[in-house]
Structure 1
């Protein structure tokens, strides 16, 4: 987790510099919710208070033959449960290179 905080802190410092540069160009930037200051302590407090995870789950109900102990068949029907189909990114057999929410839509 400490590595995550460090990466986020550096990203926020970059954003703070960008905001100051844009303001210096004369653009009115208002209503931004930013850390109290640019100190590591204030940025870390901001991250802990405002940070959240937004995951796109995939590959939890993999499509594969029953012999491989997977969850759904090639028609997305759950093995051993009549009438139950899974039709979202959880059936991917592996993570795709693009955004995981594109193909299910």
Structure 2
């Protein structure tokens, strides 16, 4: 079974709150900026495989990508920089379009 399938099954069995509770801000700076860029460890804290997304409102996370993180900072990897750029692009687009809840998509 793959990681995304595990996440889907856990979310279905334990509800949307489980999924939202497992995403955390990408960094402390993201607590200050809405919508927040988020990450989720796929197995346990510090795991290498991460899911990235943007929180939209109180009950929606838009998944922007999944990656293996082998470096300390995302900027130290070209592939992780792409993931970071996708999150930043989506966040900026949502702000520019004044979209704050999933009903507005």
TM-score bracket, normalised by the shorter chain, equals under 0.3
Kindly indicate which of the two structures has a greater share of residues assigned to helix.
Answer: 2
Kindly indicate which of the two structures has a greater share of residues assigned to strand.
Answer: 2
Larger Rg: 1
